Amino acid sequence: MLTLATRNQFIIGTVLVLLVVATRGQHFATLHSLPGASWAAFFLTGVYLRPRWALPGLLALTWGLDFAAYTWGGASGFCLTPAYVFLLPAYSALWLAGHWSAGRYRFEWHTLLPLGAAMLVGATVCELFSSGGFYFFSGRFMDPTFAEFGARLVKYFPPSLQSVAFYVAIAAVVHMLFGLASSASRPRKAAL
């Protein structure tokens, strides 16, 4: 199981919060051409952060950013429908996938396979809840069908998957570099 020192969890949590604030839609200080980090932040919160309030805290942050953007920032309210509640299970699926992956962690190369599989499953479930919830329950689409929803999945899911994979890959590389640096700085035991 991957468990970090409280200080390291705080640093990682702060970085994830800053990424979400900087990249959440077109709300505030979106960095030019940088993909949204919300999905990756929920997944990586599951991987790295152990406090029980981390998931509800990140949910509150994203909802607060969306509310502020709609209320004071002039953002469109197109997505703010009764289907918005589907983001709760969508983002929770990403967190659960990250948490599952952390339970299989070993500082070895083959750990990347469960990490990648968990990310893919979590992102797929997230997409089904978020896009499916919006498509079928927002009231924005007349006569929704599974065939049209499937076509929309094929169109919109790959860019979302690409965004989460981008950030998770960066996190994996940074994690490996810190792990290697940490193991190199430990004193070695003398051979008997």
pLDDT of residue 29: 44
Is residue 180 one of the residues assigned to a domain? Answer: no
The domain total for the chain is 1
Per-residue pLDDT reduced to its tens digit, 1-60: 688 889 999 999 999 999 999 888 654 444 455 788 999 999 999 999 999 899 999 999
pLDDT of residue 188: 61
Is residue 188 one of the residues assigned to a domain? Answer: no
Is residue 185 one of the residues assigned to a domain? Answer: no
Long-range CB pairs of 140-148, under 8 A, 24+ apart, other chains included: 140/78, 140/81
How far is the C-alpha of 149 from the C-alpha of 141, rounded, in Å?
10
Average pLDDT, the chain: 87
> Coil, helix or strand for 47?
helix
Residues of the domain holding 51: 6-175
